[in-house]
Structure 1
Amino acid sequence: MINERPQVELIVGGLHHDMNAVRLHLLTLLDEYELARVGCHSDFGNGSALADADFLITYTNNVIPEGAALKALEGFLDRGGRWLAIHGAAALTCFQPPPVDIGGISLPGLTDTPDLAPEYMALLGVRFVSHLTQQPIVVRRGPAAHPVTEGLMPFEIVDEPYILELRGEGDVLLESRYTGEAPGYVAGPWLDDEPRPQLVHHRHGAGEVMYLAPGHACGRYDLRPFIDEVPEQPGPWADEAYIGLIRRLIAWGMRC
C-alpha cells in the first residue's frame, strides 16, 4: 500500500438500483477496518481521487470513466491498486426503440448493450451483455483457485442471472449455471447449459480486479419513470452467505 492508513475510494451511483441501501451496506462493512479512510463518490469525476487510493470499490450502472478519469483508473491499476467491481459496474446500456411493456414496466425500447467502452471493459476484464429474469441461482467455486474463495461452500441467492463476456485473461473463481429467456433485452435467449462466470479475477499492470456479478438491489421507487412503484428487492444483500463473500473481497482489497 502507498498509505500508512489504507485509502479506500467508494463509487456508488447510477440509476434503477437501490444505491442508498448498497452504499450503506458497503460503508458498514468498511467500518470494520478502523484504520481505513473512505472517500464516497457517485462517479469517477476527473479521477483525482484515485491518485492516492489503495483500494477502489464500485457499485454502478451506466457510470463509465472517460478521458482523464479513465487514464487515472488505468494508472491506479498500473501501480498496484486493487479494484472490487460489483454487478452493474460492467454495464453500459441503452434502449432500442420501439417502446415495449415488460411485465407492466413501460420501457422506451428493448435494452441493448453495445460495446461502446472497450478500454474500460478491458481494464475491468468483463462486459455485461444481458440477464435473465430475477430468480434463485446457486453459486459455487469455479475452475480457478484463490484465497478469497478457499473453502467457500455453494450458496443460493436471488439475483439477476448475468450473461458476461470475458475481456483479456482472467480467472473464474465462482460460477453458476442457468438457461432461459432475457425479457426486455436485445441479446437472448440463453439456452446453452454451460457454466456462467460470477466472480472473475483479472490483472492489469501491477494491479488486480475482482468483478462480482451478483448484487442486484432495487427500492420501491428506483424504476421510475418506467413504473411508479415496485416491491422492494434487497437481492443477495439480505443473504448472510453473500455478505460473507463481500467481507472476503474487502479483506482482499485491504490486503488482510
Structure 2
Amino acid sequence: MAKYGRPQVELIVGGENHDVNRIRLTLLELLGENELLRVRCAPDFGDGTALADTDFLITYTNNVFPEGEALAALDAFLAGGGRWLAIHGAAAYTQFKPPAVNLGGIHLPGLTDTPDLKPAYMNLLGVRFVSHLAQQAYAITPGPVAHPVTEGIGPFEVVDEPYILELRGECDVLLEARFTGEAPGYVEGPWLTDDARPQLLRHRHGAGEAMYLAPGHACGKYDLRPFIDEIPVQPGPWASGTYVDLVRRLIAWGVEAAVPVG
C-alpha cells in the first residue's frame, strides 16, 4: 500500500520513567537499515491525522494514549490493513494509589495501580498490562503459535520487568515465559502460579494486525526523577543481541505489506 512509493513509518516514543532517548535512537538505527523507509517521529498520537499516511506504526510509550479523533484514526488505521508494533509500556495505563511508599530509596506517591480505564485502546492492541515482578533475568521461549518473525529463535534470556498481562480478544502467542514472585510497588500481586505468560503476541483487527512485545524496559541514570535523584543505568533487553534481532524482524514484518513490488 506504501504512500508516495515508499513505506511510511510513524514512530511514537514518549512517556516517563524510561530511557526514551536511548530507545528512540535504537529504533531509528534499526529502521535506518532499510533505506526505502520514510520515518516520522512524534512524542504522542497528536490528532491522529498522521496515521492516514502511515503504513507501519511503532509505539514505545507509557501513559500515552490516543483520544477522540486520534483513537478513531488508530481504529481506522488497523481496520484498513495497517500494522502496529507496540513495545513494553505501550500496553500500560498506570496511576499511583496513596499512601506514599519508599521502595529501596525510591519515594513514590503510592503503589502503582493499573485500572482498566483505556478499554477501547487496549481492545485494539489486544492486551492490557496488569503488573510486573521485580526486574530480573528470565528465559523467553517459543509460544504455541509459529510465525515467520520467530522462526529459528530458540530460548533466550533477557533482563527485564516480567510483565503480567491480560489478553483482550483473540490473540496468537508467539513467545512466552514462566515466572512467579512478588510485585513490589504494585497493587496487583503477588503472582505465584506457574503459568505460561505471553511475551510476544499478535492481535488482528479488521484487515490489520498489532504485534505486542512485552520485554523492552530501559531506564537511564536520571529517568526516575523526581522519585529518586539517580539510579544505575538499566539497558534491559536492549543489551541482548537476540532481542534486538527480534525487533529487527518485527520491523521487517511491519513494512513487508507496504513494500512496492518491482
**TM-score (norm. length: structure 2):** 0.97
CA deviations over 1:113-162 (Å, ceiling 9, x no partner): 00000000000000000000000010111001111111111100100000
SS in 2 for 1:95: strand
Which residue does 1:225 correspond to in 2? 226
Which residue does 2:110 correspond to in 1? 109
Which residue does 1:122 correspond to in 2? 123
The answer to whether the aligner puts 1:206 opposite 2:207 as a matched pair is yes
Which residue does 2:253 correspond to in 1? 252
Q: How far apart are the structure 1 equivalents of 2:111 and 2:195? A: 25
Q: How far apart are the structure 1 equivalents of 2:34 and 2:54? A: 16
The answer to whether the aligner puts 1:161 opposite 2:162 as a matched pair is yes
Q: How far apart are the structure 1 equivalents of 2:41 and 2:140? A: 30
Equivalences for 1:29-40 in 2 at 5 Å? 29-40=30-41
The answer to whether the aligner puts 1:62 opposite 2:63 as a matched pair is yes
CA deviations over 1:139-196 (Å, ceiling 9, x no partner): 1110011111111111001000000000000000000000000000000000000101
Which residue does 1:92 correspond to in 2? 93
SS in 2 for 1:254: helix
CA deviations over 1:35-83 (Å, ceiling 9, x no partner): 1100000000000110110000000000011101100000100110000
Which residue does 1:241 correspond to in 2? 242
The answer to whether the aligner puts 1:75 opposite 2:76 as a matched pair is yes
RMSD: 0.7
Which residue does 1:23 correspond to in 2? 24
Q: How far apart are the structure 2 equivalents of 1:241 and 1:35? A: 24
Unpaired runs of 5+ residues, structure 2, are none
What displacement does 1:254 show? 1.1
Q: How far apart are the structure 1 equivalents of 2:37 and 2:84? A: 15
What displacement does 1:214 show? 0.1
SS in 1 for 2:18: coil
* 4+ aligned runs moved over 3 Å, structure 1: none
Which amino acid in structure 1 is aligned with residue 9 of structure 2? V
SS in 2 for 1:121: helix
Count, aligned residues: 256
What displacement does 1:2 show? 3.5
What displacement does 1:230 show? 0.2
Which amino acid in structure 1 is aligned with residue 99 of structure 2? P
SS in 1 for 2:149: coil
Which amino acid in structure 2 is aligned with residue 64 of structure 1? F
Which amino acid in structure 2 is aligned with residue 54 of structure 1? D
Q: How far apart are the structure 1 equivalents of 2:156 and 2:92? A: 24
Equivalences for 1:188-207 in 2 at 5 Å? 188-207=189-208
Which amino acid in structure 2 is aligned with residue 13 of structure 1? G
Which residue does 1:178 correspond to in 2? 179
Unpaired runs of 5+ residues, structure 1, are none
Which amino acid in structure 2 is aligned with residue 240 of structure 1? G
User: What percentage of aligned pairs have identical amino acids?
Assistant: 73
SS in 2 for 1:25: helix
What displacement does 1:225 show? 0.3
SS in 1 for 2:148: coil
Which residue does 2:146 correspond to in 1? 145
Q: How far apart are the structure 1 equivalents of 2:125 and 2:73? A: 14
Which residue does 1:8 correspond to in 2? 9
Q: How far apart are the structure 1 equivalents of 2:206 and 2:224? A: 38
What displacement does 1:103 show? 1.2
SS in 1 for 2:53: coil
Which amino acid in structure 2 is aligned with residue 180 of structure 1? G
**TM-score (norm. length: structure 1):** 0.99
